[in-house]
Amino acid sequence: MAGLRPPERLFLRYPHELSGGQRQRVLIAGALALKPELLIADEPVSSLDASIRGEILALLLTLRAELGLGVLVVTHDLGLAWNIADRTAVMYLGRIVEAGPTEEVVAAPQHPYTQALLSVVPEIDRLEPVVLEGEVPDPTRIPRGCRFHPRCPALASGLAVLVEDACRTVPLPVLPASEGHRAACHLAAARLESEEWSHG
Ligand code: SF4
């Protein structure tokens, strides 16, 4: 099922005798042996050549369809998420800051961190590249208020001036596990509120 063929030739090989793609297939086979409902793949293709990446991703999608598996892919590559995921959740400093159907997250990102990440994805050339200042803070010293505020381009540029106090002092709740498109951001929440108000 994991595409290791012919199995009788591969069965007795040592790991160093396998290619990177074959080793990845062995790991997938090992995970499938437990008959899981959910497969968690942490950077499944980051160390592979471009040609093999496509094969492994195709295998994950086939297994998902044939076995009815859920597949949770952890990646730093938003372009990859865009290509394979039904839903995308963007994390910053240990929290999901935006989640929704992939098409919606890519077409209309709500959180400034997602907007910055998407602006440097080569396949998406409609956004002006945003270079984030500073480093991700030490996880033992989570900033007050919004944990992204020391690096937020919207706050630095004055775009978030109406919610500036909240950005610096009011922590954002954990996003609910819902079907929709949500962002943990005071500015996004204020925009949503004003849209709802103007429509209703
Ligand atoms: S809450 Fe404020 S600081 Fe945080 S991402 Fe939104 S606009 Fe930026």
User: How much is the pTM?
Assistant: 0.87
Most confident of 9-23, 66-80, 126-140, 157-171: 157-171
Ligand 1 atom having least distance to the Cα of 167: 2
Tell me which of 152, 164, 170, 191 to substitute to probe ligand 1's pocket, judged by most ligand atoms within 8 Å of the beta carbon: 152
Distance between Cα 116 and ligand 1 center (Å): 12
Query: What distance in Å separates the CA atoms of residue 127 and residue 143, rounded to the nearest whole number?
Result: 28
**For the residues 10-20, what does the mean pLDDT come to?**
92
152 Cβ closer than 6 Å to some ligand 1 atom: yes
**pLDDT above 70: residue 60:** yes
Residue 157 CB coordination number (10 Å): 11
Nearest to 44 by CA among 68, 20, 9, 69: 20
Residue 183 bridge partners (DSSP): 98
**Residue 193: C-alpha distances to residues 7, 54, 130, 186, 197 (Å):** 58, 41, 26, 10, 6
For atom 3 of ligand 1, which residue has the closest CA?
149
Q: Largest alpha-carbon pair distance within the chain?
A: 67
Ligand 1 atom having least distance to the Cα of 97: 5
167 Cβ closer than 6 Å to some ligand 1 atom: yes
For atom 6 of ligand 1, which residue has the closest CA?
185
Position 16 scores a pLDDT of 95
160 Cβ closer than 6 Å to some ligand 1 atom: yes
Ligand 1 atom having least distance to the Cα of 164: 2
**pLDDT above 70: residue 200:** no
**For the residues 167-193, what does the mean pLDDT come to?**
93
**pLDDT above 90: residue 158:** yes
Distance between Cα 149 and ligand 1 center (Å): 5
**For the residues 6-19, what does the mean pLDDT come to?**
91
